[in-house]
Chains A and B, each alone.
Chain A
Amino acid sequence: MSAQWETVIGLEIHVQLSTDSKIFSGASTAFGAQPNTQASAVDLGLPGVLPVVNEAVFPKAVSFGLAIGADIGQRSCFDRKNYFYPDLPKGYQITQMDEPIVMGGSVDINLKDGSTKTIRITRAHLEEDAGKSLHEDFHGMTGIDLNRAGTPLLEIVSEPDMRSAEEAVAYARTIHQLVTYLSVSDGNMAEGSLRCDANVSLRKRGEETYGTRTETKNVNSFRFLEQAIKHEITRQREILESGGRVAQETRLYDPDKNETRPMRSKETATDYRYFPEPDLLPVTIDEAFINRVRDRMPELPGQKKQRYTEMWQLSDEDAGLISSDLGLATYFEECVSATDDPTLSANWVRGDLLAALNRAELAIEESPVSAENLGQIIRRIKDGTISGKIAKTVFAGLWEGKASSADEYIEVEGLIQVSDSDALEPVIDKIIADNPKQVEQYQAGKTKLLGFFVGQIMKETGGKANPQQVNDLVKSKLD
């Protein structure tokens, strides 16, 4: 980025609320059903049908609002946004225009240089999702699946406070983290639970007014978001530097070609003719309701991190990493409660567990080793049943599904640490007898060879011997 230009970015993030049924109908929101099997008469906009609001969307929206320090509208009203598009059955989308549920607020994002930056949020409002157009060739026609129509969304609109693709991604990640923490959304981006529209413009550094912006729609991964914004910055800069003007338009990001292109559909250029939805009445959100939501809100990432460092003496880095993901934090906390050892739990979670998850490209929720099992492994290290080294074997065994619990695996594989001197002595005697040369050297003062004997004995016992005890026994025999 040349020093001459400053990038200005605002994001509109559509978060799918995790409800069982749709926002205005009793149809299921489950992902992956056969086309149109979850599109009820209401979702299809058949003649004479009427919307009825799902109560579950309000506590979710309010908890998000509280988490970002926003004002919660006491009267939350729905409006119709009118445009024609085949995935929009009624010819209007029910959304919120003048009286959204969440107004204002902000989130802090962490940047790579360790600094934090506050991003202001303009508003967040409830609305229904549209269906899906399938462009595979149906004799030159497009197929419409309306299963997703009516799925509840919270659209979170930021101020144009971001200045780089990295900041935009950091902001999107922060919102993702927050909505999953609050159980507002499952945050499953592959299934479209979080989608971003990026408003990008450039202006000469030092200028006050914004340049003409483009809106890149429907970006559904952090990586694509970064690429789309970077591409858009380069494209706009090239236009501006060659003396051209950026057209205000809606664009689509094509991840295959890594470029954005103008959207040609009708959805883009129209006068939306918003007006209050006459089929729905204003929803009253009183102080008591807000308080109930507040009381039930879970601990947020920042609060968790603080608790980990202050109560459990985790390092800033460990605490930050573990608290960044609710699933990971939950796993970790279960581990701690099973072991009463935050340090060892953190070491295992950060180390072996995350490494294994990364290798297998699995989410924490998909971990083959449960928190309970990892807790058991840690407990067995602590009570001397197994060594740290054997623990890794147990972990690997459980990861591969060779047993259903750590204890079972230790038992079946005979991995219990041998701490019985009567059992160990014959082995030690054998090793001493087999290595007269090393015995001689040791006794001549080369005491470093103690490690050699311990190693041989550990090998002989398949690692099951208690290393400290072996150490003591060898010493007493040779000294």
Chain B
Amino acid sequence: MSDSITERSLTEQLRDLEAGQYSSRELTEAYLQKIASASDINAYITVSSEQAIESADLADQRRASGDSAPLLGIPIAHKDIFCEKGVKTSAGSKMLDNFVSPYDSTVVSKLKEAGVVSLGKTNMDEFAMGSSNEASFYGPVRNPWNHDRVPGGSSGGSAAAVAASLCSAATGTDTGGSIRQPAAFCGITGLKPTYGRVSRWGMIAYASSLDQAGPMARSADDCALLLTHMAGQDHRDSTSSSVEAEDYSSALTSDLSGLKIGICTEFMDGVDSAVADILDQTRQSLEALGANFSEISLPNTHLAIPAYYIIAPAECSANLSRYDGVRFGYRCEGPENLEDLYKRSRSESFGREVKNRIMVGAFALSAGYYDAYYKKAQQIRRLIKQDFEEAFASVDMILGPTTPGPAFALGDKLDDAKAMYLQDIYTISANLAGLPALSMPAGTEDAMPIGAQLIGNYFQEANILRTAHQYQQVTDWHKRRPEKGETA
């Protein structure tokens, strides 16, 4: 029975718990067992077994005494970028291997309030910098569909954990595609909300003006449920939006008649033919549900990656200066002097990609280069934002690919940084503009999942989730689970 309960959707599990079919403890133990037996996937950095069982018991007691917290007893996993009090929070880095967070992030505390059980912390590319999860101090995560392939990144551990039913749902963060790309590679649904929709307090920063937390789950309705309890203004995050958060579950059921969806011509350049076919089928399904399609153009799309790879490194070069071996984190052995302390603590504990981005960022901000790089990139960001504003004058949503193709093989792009960066070509624009975007499973290629992306206008999360949910009512891509994920 344990296998079947771990594979039920979050929404179903809530119903089951309410009906007393099984307890949160049973569900939690089932997941913990599965996590232990699937350790080869390496989805988790930390498994909080004892704590999880304790809070599952507590959830069961609360439910017995009539408590109806909305996510009571649901076992979820947090990307190891969210600070959780008393739990190691590493951001996938040796730098924070010894960091036990003294506080909860807002995402963690809001979900705790909603009643979830935290199973542990999922693996990720170091400081969220990567698209394959190979840049983790804790080793690569394997794609549950095929262990020779990457799960995507940076929220690869969360995506793999959801896909392999090692949690009911998970949290992720998305700076340039880090929720959507792994969601696509692992055949799950992931939403990057509007910038400012979810508080960044306690979420370890990569690029502050791009970072956004969101849900990763089996389906759009599970994502909606999770987002409802993640979103909202937070007085501790100045960039969190004052626009009211919604009950994202309540808006899922209305049909799509009259919905105007744009297909972006620039997005269709460069996708492989299988992806193009899948998108065409997705379009047909959505048309059958009542949506109208038209072509739109986002002419500055080709500038998104160049701008992103200046802005994100620039912000990260400053955000990662606090890791200096003084107040927390890794400190090198026997520093000779202050400079030695700084340089060795940082160099011995940051991985190659992190160092590379810090270097690029420091360079792009340095005297004489600021205007040509950083300022230019932020101006291009304006052009990209304006492209979207124009597009959203005529359509409600944009449909496109999430990735150029299916998950690639482990090690395949490790020595080709540029190819790795180009993985994010369809996801990055939404981060630069701050728009909400979702990836949902829409087909397979080489027996690997392919995702379709929906980009909405600002704060149109409910509309995107509704569209995905309606699509998932007439298709079953989201229900497919990896068989065993054996090495080919």
A residues contacting B by CB (< 8 A) are 41, 44-53, 80, 82, 84, 86, 89-92, 144, 266, 271, 273-275, 278-281
Tell whether B238 is near chain A: CB-to-CB under 8 Å: yes
Q: Which of B96, B201, B342 sits near A84, CB closer than 8 Å?
A: B342
A-B contact pairs, 17 of them (CB 8 A): A46-B102, A47-B83, A47-B91, A47-B328, A48-B83, A48-B203, A53-B238, A84-B321, A84-B342, A89-B322, A89-B326, A91-B320, A91-B321, A91-B324, A271-B367, A273-B362, A279-B238
Do the beta carbons of A275 and B370 come within 8 Å of each other? Answer: yes
Chain B residues numbered 153-197 whose CB sits less than 8 Å from any CB in chain A: none
Name the distance in Å between A252's Cβ and chain B's nearest Cβ. Answer: 17
Name the distance in Å between A46's Cβ and chain B's nearest Cβ. Answer: 6
Do the beta carbons of A82 and B321 come within 8 Å of each other? Answer: yes
Stretch of B204-212, B256-264, B416-424, B469-477 that contacts chain A: B204-212
Cα-based distance from A205 to B54 in the complex (angstroms): 80
Decide yes or no: A86 and B326 within 8 Å by CB, A52-B238, A92-B318, A280-B238 being known contacts: yes
B residues contacting A by CB (< 8 A) are 82-83, 89, 91, 96, 99, 101-103, 105, 200-205, 207-209, 235-239, 314-315, 317-318, 320-322, 324, 326-329, 338-339, 342, 362, 365-367, 370, 374
Name the distance in Å between B235's Cβ and chain A's nearest Cβ. Answer: 7
Name the distance in Å between B78's Cβ and chain A's nearest Cβ. Answer: 12
Do the beta carbons of B321 and A273 come within 8 Å of each other? Answer: no
Do the beta carbons of A48 and B204 come within 8 Å of each other? Answer: yes
Q: Which 10 pairs show the lowest CB-CB distances between chains A and B?
A: A91-B321, A273-B365, A278-B208, A278-B209, A45-B322, A48-B202, A47-B204, A48-B204, A48-B83, A90-B322
Chain A contacts for B101, CB-based, 8 A: 47-48
Decide yes or no: A50 and B237 within 8 Å by CB, A86-B338, A92-B321, A275-B314 being known contacts: yes
Cα-based distance from A144 to B367 in the complex (angstroms): 30
Do the beta carbons of A51 and B238 come within 8 Å of each other? Answer: yes
> Chain B contact residues: over half helix, strand or loop, or mixed?
loop
Cα-based distance from A91 to B322 in the complex (angstroms): 5
Cα-based distance from A80 to B91 in the complex (angstroms): 23
Decide yes or no: A48 and B201 within 8 Å by CB, A82-B365, A281-B239 being known contacts: yes
A47, closest chain B residue (CB): B204
Do the beta carbons of B366 and A90 come within 8 Å of each other? Answer: no
Chain A contacts for B200, CB-based, 8 A: 48, 50
Name the distance in Å between B343's Cβ and chain A's nearest Cβ. Answer: 10
Do the beta carbons of B315 and A278 come within 8 Å of each other? Answer: yes
Decide yes or no: A49 and B318 within 8 Å by CB, A86-B338, A278-B208 being known contacts: no
Chain B contacts for A86, CB-based, 8 A: 324, 326, 338
Name the distance in Å between B308's Cβ and chain A's nearest Cβ. Answer: 14
Name the distance in Å between A36's Cβ and chain B's nearest Cβ. Answer: 9
Chain A contacts for B362, CB-based, 8 A: 82, 273
Do the beta carbons of B236 and A52 come within 8 Å of each other? Answer: yes
Do the beta carbons of A41 and B324 come within 8 Å of each other? Answer: no
Q: Which of B82, B201, B327, B338 sits near A44, CB closer than 8 Å?
A: B327
Chain A contacts for B321, CB-based, 8 A: 82, 84, 90-92
Cα-based distance from A90 to B318 in the complex (angstroms): 8
Name the distance in Å between A276's Cβ and chain B's nearest Cβ. Answer: 8
B234, closest chain A residue (CB): A50
Cα-based distance from A53 to B238 in the complex (angstroms): 8
Do the beta carbons of A281 and B238 come within 8 Å of each other? Answer: yes
Do the beta carbons of B238 and A49 come within 8 Å of each other? Answer: no
Cα-based distance from A275 to B365 in the complex (angstroms): 7
Do the beta carbons of B315 and A266 come within 8 Å of each other? Answer: no
Cα-based distance from A278 to B434 in the complex (angstroms): 13
Do the beta carbons of B238 and A48 come within 8 Å of each other? Answer: no
Do the beta carbons of A273 and B366 come within 8 Å of each other? Answer: yes
Among B202, B205, B327, B339, the one with the most A-chain Cβ atoms within 10 Å of its Cβ is B327
Do the beta carbons of B236 and A50 come within 8 Å of each other? Answer: yes
Q: Which of B207, B328, B339 sits near A266, CB closer than 8 Å?
A: B339
B89, closest chain A residue (CB): A47
Further pairs besides A46-B328, A86-B326, A90-B322: 14, Cβ < 8 Å: A47-B101, A47-B328, A47-B329, A48-B83, A48-B201, A48-B202, A48-B205, A50-B239, A52-B235, A84-B324, A90-B321, A278-B208, A278-B239, A281-B239
Cα-based distance from A50 to B339 in the complex (angstroms): 27
A25, closest chain B residue (CB): B236
Chain A contacts for B99, CB-based, 8 A: 47
Chain A contacts for B329, CB-based, 8 A: 47
Q: Which of A51, A266, A271, A275 sits near B338, CB closer than 8 Å?
A: A266
Cα-based distance from A273 to B82 in the complex (angstroms): 28
Cα-based distance from A405 to B345 in the complex (angstroms): 65
Decide yes or no: A45 and B327 within 8 Å by CB, A82-B321, A278-B209 being known contacts: yes
Cα-based distance from A280 to B240 in the complex (angstroms): 10
Do the beta carbons of A50 and B201 come within 8 Å of each other? Answer: yes
Decide yes or no: A48 and B326 within 8 Å by CB, A82-B365, A84-B321 being known contacts: no
Chain B contacts for A279, CB-based, 8 A: 205, 208, 238-239
Cα-based distance from A31 to B238 in the complex (angstroms): 27
Name the distance in Å between B108's Cβ and chain A's nearest Cβ. Answer: 10
Name the distance in Å between B99's Cβ and chain A's nearest Cβ. Answer: 7
Cα-based distance from A174 to B314 in the complex (angstroms): 41
Name the distance in Å between B302's Cβ and chain A's nearest Cβ. Answer: 24
Chain B contacts for A47, CB-based, 8 A: 83, 89, 91, 96, 99, 101, 204-205, 322, 328-329
Name the distance in Å between B370's Cβ and chain A's nearest Cβ. Answer: 7
Chain B contacts for A84, CB-based, 8 A: 321, 324, 342
Cα-based distance from A47 to B208 in the complex (angstroms): 12
Cα-based distance from A144 to B338 in the complex (angstroms): 13
Chain A contacts for B235, CB-based, 8 A: 52
Cα-based distance from A210 to B371 in the complex (angstroms): 28
A78, closest chain B residue (CB): B238
